[in-house]
Structure 1
Amino acid sequence: MSEVLAEREGEVLVLTLNRPDKANAMNEAMQKALIENLLNSNSKAVVLAASGPKIFSAGADLKEFSELECGIAARRRRALLKCTLEAVLDFPRPLVAAVQGKALGGGCMLALLADELVMAEGAELGLPEIKHAIPTLVGYAIVAARAGMPIARRMVQNGEPVGAGEALDFHLIEEISGNARERALERATTLACLSGPTYQANKKFINAPLMAALQAAFTEADRL
């Protein structure tokens, strides 16, 4: 079974995280497949979705690399996540995320790096790392860039998830839909009709501060 399903819908590539029996936890195979699909895509837009009705992604697969020493395993996971998040943020064409369930930890970060994010009514975004004694500097950088410091501080420092209504109020997402995947595909199809070079130029400039913040957060996390 492929950890990431890749399907073409007209000019749009739909990438689906596909480990529903494992809460779509982001293992090495899934992240490498996601990176490869993004780097090799010639589609005019991408939708990032997930299998299953309740979980977009529970974040990094903490059981992977469990045979390694704790510090080494954490560095391996962090290096892999860095490559994955940078591939999403640096994708030059429109990328729309469809969050149909809970997006937690790395899954939340992944979704929030999309150009647009559509959430289902019962979906949630959360950075619960503090409850597991794990700093989340990267999560803070991403939320702060999208919604500002107060929202980022709240999500990082209390670890409680944010529902779709709050996420919309906080400007973390663009809209709420009864069918997030279908609506995300509609948005991606619309965005695919825009000038590709112009969209890419705008996107690169818009995302430059976040890319710098992302790299700084990973550098600081490596020192902890």
Structure 2
Amino acid sequence: MKFENILVEKKDSLAQITINRPKKLNALNKATIKELNIAFAALEDDETTRAIILTGSGDKAFVAGADISEFADFSVEEGANLSRLGHEILFDYVANLSIPVIAAINGFALGGGLELAMACHFRVASDNAKMGLPEVSLGVIPGYGGTQRLPQLVGKGKAMEMIMTAGMISAEEAKESGLVNHVTTQEELLPLAEKIAGKITRNSSDAISAAIRAINAGFEEGVNGFDVEVEEFGECFGTEDFNEGTAAFLGKRKPNF
């Protein structure tokens, strides 16, 4: 796959998507959002892909926000449509992807950049990373899931403070608040993400997809996550991975998923 704004690499079962607009600090524009949608869809269709790492090019930014010039003159209706489409083709799309996505935050993750990282299934960050949602300083609110996913990760009070002050927090503070899982050096960031991905890919991809659906269900309004868990648990019994996993356990060998 060839793109103008992103790079896609694949090694065995692990894929890496790099947002590659270093002169713009990897800011999200319409074209980049569309390319990310195409890349994620293609990797999900590839049955050999079992984990995806998402990062930014260079050592300054994961994604330093959205391209404000594209929507500075939008009307109310255009603004709502911008948010709705973004959710549909990228942010919600990533959150509900059947393949686990790890965000490797290698610098600034601001606005839409932090929202994209939060849409991933979990996050690791370099020690120079800075994260925040500065939208209210522009007279708008986070529109790509920030007002919903940030409270889920750090709690309502912390999210209120971060959004209302438009301030940034350090990687260590992000770890303390539960926004990121691990903090490491810039040099060790991708090796750490790859190490975690390697642990994931040794397990059942069917079970991991089911776990993603069950976990996400617990955060959906009007959905009983426990009911979804019961259903997904039952469905696992009909998979080849379940047969292999249980046979391997009983036979005292490693499973071959």
TM-score (norm 2): 0.77
Q: CA deviation at 1:209?
A: 4.1
1:53 corresponds to which of 59, 62, 72:
59
1:194 corresponds to which of 184, 203, 219:
203
> Partners of 2:20 and 2:36 in 1: how far apart?
11
Contact 1:18 1:24 in 2 (8 A): yes
Contact 2:51 2:197 in 1 (8 A): yes
Aligned length: 212
Amino acid at match of 1:145: Q
> Partners of 1:189 and 1:33 in 2: how far apart?
26
1:75 corresponds to which of 65, 77, 80:
80
Q: CA deviation at 1:39?
A: 1.4
What RMSD over aligned residues (CA atoms) do the two structures have, in Å? 1.8
1:150 corresponds to which of 157, 160, 165:
157
Contact 2:59 2:107 in 1 (8 A): yes
> Partners of 2:198 and 2:142 in 1: how far apart?
34
Deviations 1:58-112 (A, max 9, x none): 222111255x644354234313321210111011121111001000011001111
Q: CA deviation at 1:150?
A: 1.5
> Partners of 1:148 and 1:92 in 2: how far apart?
26
Unpaired runs of 5+ residues, structure 2, are 223-257
Aligned to 1:13: 15
Aligned to 2:215: 206
Amino acid at match of 1:161: M
Name the SS of the counterpart of 2:161 in structure 1.
helix
Q: Runs of 4+ in structure 1 displaced over 2 angstroms?
A: 68-77, 208-213
> Partners of 1:203 and 1:108 in 2: how far apart?
20
> Partners of 1:129 and 1:65 in 2: how far apart?
13
> Partners of 1:198 and 1:79 in 2: how far apart?
30
Amino acid at match of 1:85: F
Contact 2:92 2:119 in 1 (8 A): no
Name the SS of the counterpart of 1:63 in structure 2.
helix
> Partners of 1:180 and 1:154 in 2: how far apart?
28
> Partners of 2:169 and 2:6 in 1: how far apart?
26
TM-score (norm 1): 0.88
Aligned to 1:216: none
Unpaired runs of 5+ residues, structure 1, are 214-224
Q: CA deviation at 1:211?
A: 5.2
Question: 1:1-224 maps to which residues of 2 (within 5 A)?
Answer: 2-41=4-43, 42=46, 43-65=49-71, 69-83=74-88, 84-136=90-142, 138-178=145-185, 179-210=188-219, 212=221
Amino acid at match of 1:6: V
Name the SS of the counterpart of 2:68 in structure 1.
coil
> Partners of 1:48 and 1:177 in 2: how far apart?
16
RCO higher in 1 or 2 (8 Å CA, sep ≥ 6)? 1
> Partners of 1:195 and 1:182 in 2: how far apart?
22
Give me the identity figure in percent.
28
Name the SS of the counterpart of 1:150 in structure 2.
helix
Q: Flag the 1:69–1:124 CA change in 2: closer, same or farther, 3 A.
A: closer
Which segment drifts farther, 27-36 or 71-80? 71-80
> Partners of 1:211 and 1:37 in 2: how far apart?
26
Question: Larger Rg: 1 or 2?
Answer: 2
> Partners of 1:210 and 1:5 in 2: how far apart?
32
Contact 2:56 2:63 in 1 (8 A): yes
Name the SS of the counterpart of 2:39 in structure 1.
helix
